[in-house]
Amino acid sequence: MSGGVDSSVSAWLLRRQGHDVIGLFMRHGQGESAAQSTAGERGCCSAADAEDARRVARMLEIPFYVMDFEKEFGRIVDYFVEEYTAGRTPNPCIVCNTWLKFGKLFEYADSVGARYVATGHYARLVPVESCEPGGAAGEPCERIALCRAQDASKDQSYVLFGVQRDLLGRLMFPLGEYRKDAVRQIADRASLGVAGKRDSQEICFVPDGDHALFVKRQRGCVDTSGEIVTTDGQAVGRHDGLEHFTIGQRKGLGIAFGDPRYVVSIEPETRRVVIGTSEELQRSELSAGGANWLIEEPRQPFHCQVKIRYRSQPVEASVRTFPGRRFGVEFDEPCRGIAPGQAVVCYRGDRVLGGGWID
C-alpha cells in the first residue's frame, strides 16, 4: 500500500472479496526530508503517503506495517547512478518490482503464512493450459499467464517482466480488469480519501524529477562531461554529464540545426554524446541479456511483438535465444530509440512471454 488510489482500491476490493488482508508500506529512506508530498510533486513513499496508507488500512480494519527497505533501496540507487555513469538508461521501477515488491515481499508473506502478494499494478493474471514438457504424458498442466490490463492507457505489464515464473500463481492484481476512472469512482464511493490523489509518475527517490542532479550528488567527484559530436566525428558542443542524455532524445541538446537531431549513441569511454538524424537513429536489431521467461524458455526462433520502452508501441520482430540468458531481436521494420539499459519485453497478443535488458 503506497498511499495512492490504486493500492488503496486494491485493498478495498480484496476485503470485499473476503480475503484476510495485511497492508504493507515500503519505506525507502532515500531523501525523505525532501520527499514530502506537495501539490506539485508526484513521487511516492513519502511520510505523507505512509500516513494516507495507514489511514486507509484503519478504515478497512486491516493490520498495517511499515517495511524498512532503506538498505535494499540503497542497492537500487547504486544501480541507477552506475547505469547513467556508464552511458546507459536505467529503469529502477522494474528493478524495484523484481528485487523488492516481488522478491522481499514474498519473504515476508512466507513468514506470516500469506498465500498471495497483491499490488495495485494494472495487469492481468490469466489461467492457461498447456501440454508443456515436464508433466505426465499427455496431461495438461495449469499455468498462469501475465497479460496486459484492460485499460491499455494504464497497462503496466512491461515493468513486470522480471517476476519469476513460479511466483505468478501467488500474485494478485485486483485492478487488471478496471479502467482508471472506474478505480477513482470506487475510491470516491468508498470514501477512502484518495480518489483525487495524483498518480505518482516520478522515480520515488527523486521526487523533484531532476534525476541528473540526483546522479551528480550521488556520484560525487566522478566527471562524465564531454563533447557532443555528429556521427561523422565533428565536435559541435559540450555537455555537463552523460546522465542528461538517453538514446532518441531530441530536447535539451543545446545545439540548433536546420533539421531535427537526436542522440543516437552515448560513448562512456570517451564521454562523447553522438547526435544524428532520424534515419541515423534507426536500428534493425538489438541484443539483450538477463532474460526472464514467463513461458518455457524458447529453443527455436519465434515471431512476436516487442516493446523497447514503457510508453513505446509494440512492434513486430523475430527473437532468437542464446546461452547465458541472452537473446537477440530482429525488427520487421527499423526501430528508433533503442536505449541500452532499458528493458525489451516480448508479447504474443496480450500475453507477456518474457524480456531482458538491452545491451
d(CA 274, CA 242) in angstroms, rounded, equals: 11
Which cell is 243 given? 546522465
How many C-alpha atoms does 92 have within 13 Å on its Cβ side?
20
Do 104 and 72 touch, CB atoms closer than 8 A? yes
What does the CA dihedral 310, 179, 47, 201 come to, rounded to 10 degrees?
30
Do 301 and 320 touch, CB atoms closer than 8 A? yes
- In the sheet with 262-267, reading across from the earlier edge strand, the strands are 235-239, 226-230, 272-276, 262-267
d(CA 312, CA 70) in angstroms, rounded, equals: 32
Residue 181 CB burial class (10 angstroms; 0-12, 13-18, ≥19): exposed
Which cell is 140 given? 495438461
Which cell is 247 given? 538514446
Do 12 and 183 touch, CB atoms closer than 8 A? no
DSSP at 337? -
> Catalytic residue positions?
96, 204
d(CA 228, CA 240) in angstroms, rounded, equals: 10
Residue 33 CB burial class (10 angstroms; 0-12, 13-18, ≥19): exposed
C-alpha 218 chain-centroid distance: 22
d(CA 311, CA 161) in angstroms, rounded, equals: 15
